[in-house]
Amino acid sequence: MTKKRVSLSLSRDLINLLDSYVDGVTARSRSEAVENFLRSYLSDKRTAVFLAGGRVKELFVEGTRTLRPLIDVAGKKLIETNIDRCRQAGYTTIFIVGSAKLISSLYAVLGDGKKYGVSIRYVEDPKPLGTAKTLERVKEHIKSDFLFLPCDHYFDFDIRKIRDFHMKNGAVATIAVHAKTKIESDRFGVVEMEGQNIMSFEEHPRVPKSNLAAVFIGFLKPEVFDYIPPGNVRWSLQENIFPKLAKEGKMCGYSVPGNWINIHDLDDVRKVKNL
C-alpha cells in the first residue's frame, strides 16, 4: 500500500503517551502507532446500509407468508446472519432503509441491535423510487466509505477482503462479482471486466456479455450521492448509477468465492437450507 508523509503537531504529553505504545511488536515507530490508533478509531465508525426498499408485498417469498429477510437459516433469521457478518467485519453502525411495514417486522426481531453487538437505526422509505433513492434516505448520516447490501441475499464470503480491496483501489464503487457457469440474467446484473476494473454494467441483459454476475453487495464512497438527481424521480443504482460509473472508469469488482443466493422463491430457500 502506498503511503504518504504528513506532518502533525501534538502536545508533549500526547507524544509521551504515544511513545509508550511503541513496543517493537504492535508498533515499531510513532508513525505505526498513530496508524494503528487511526485504524482502530475509524473501524469503530464503520457504517453498513441495508437497502430494503420497495413495496413490502414484493419482499415475501413466493408462496409463503414469510418475508425474505426473515427466512430461517441454520436456526437464525437471514437478516440476523447478515447482521452478524457485518459485525464480524467491524461494521457496528447499521442502517436499515425500507417501508414502515417492513421496518416493523424487522424491529420485532432485531430491536436496536444491542443483542448482536451493533447499533441499528431504521429509516423509512415511504415512496419506493428505486435503490438509489432508497439509499439517498441516509445521505445525511454518511461521512465516509460505507458498506451497502440488500436485505434478501444469502452470502458466506468475507466482507473484509472486499473492503480492503476497495480502500486500495480508490474507486467510487466496488462490488462483489461472482463467476457463474450459467447466467440467469433475469435475476441479476452482468459485468464486463478488464483486470479489477468494471468496464460495463448491465442489469438483466437480454444477452449476457460475460459469465460474471454482479453481486449487489459492496462499498461506496459518499461521492455516489452526487449521481442521484434531486426530487421525485425514479433512480436505481443498478440501472442508472453503476453503468455510468463503469463508463467513467470509477467502478471496480472483487471476485468472491463461496455461496451467494439472491432469494426470491421457495427453490432459493431450499438451496440455502441445503448448504
**Span 28-61, pLDDT tens digits:** 888 887 876 666 555 456 999 999 998 888 899 9
The CATH number covering residue 148 comes to 3.90.550.10
Residue 107 inside a domain? The answer is: yes
Count of structural domains, the chain: 1
Residue 16 inside a domain? The answer is: no
Q: Read off the C-alpha cell for 164.
A: 480492503
Residue 110: which H helix or E strand, with range? helix 100-110
Residue 135 inside a domain? The answer is: yes
Instruction: Please list the residues that pair with 122 across neighbouring strands.
Output: 96
Characterise 63 by phi-psi region: left (phi > 0), alpha (psi -120 to 50), beta (else): left
Question: CA–CA separation, 20 vs 94, rounded Å?
Answer: 34
Question: CA–CA separation, 202 vs 230, rounded Å?
Answer: 24
Question: CA–CA separation, 37 vs 25, rounded Å?
Answer: 15
Range of 157's domain? 45-273
Residues 86-111 pLDDT 10s: 999 999 999 999 999 999 999 999 99
- At 27 the pLDDT is 77
Question: Is 160 a residue whose pLDDT tops 60?
Answer: yes
Residue 238 inside a domain? The answer is: yes
Q: How confident is the model at residue 195 (pLDDT cuts 50, 70, 90)?
A: very high
- At 94 the pLDDT is 97
Select the more confidently predicted residue: 35 or 260.
260
Question: CA–CA separation, 243 vs 205, rounded Å?
Answer: 12
Sequence length of the chain is 275
Residue 90 near residue 46, CB atoms below 8 Å: yes
- At 155 the pLDDT is 96
Residue 259 inside a domain? The answer is: yes
Give Dmax over CA atoms of the chain in angstroms: 67
Residue 8 inside a domain? The answer is: no
Mean pLDDT for 243-263 is 95
Which amino acid belongs to residue 145? D
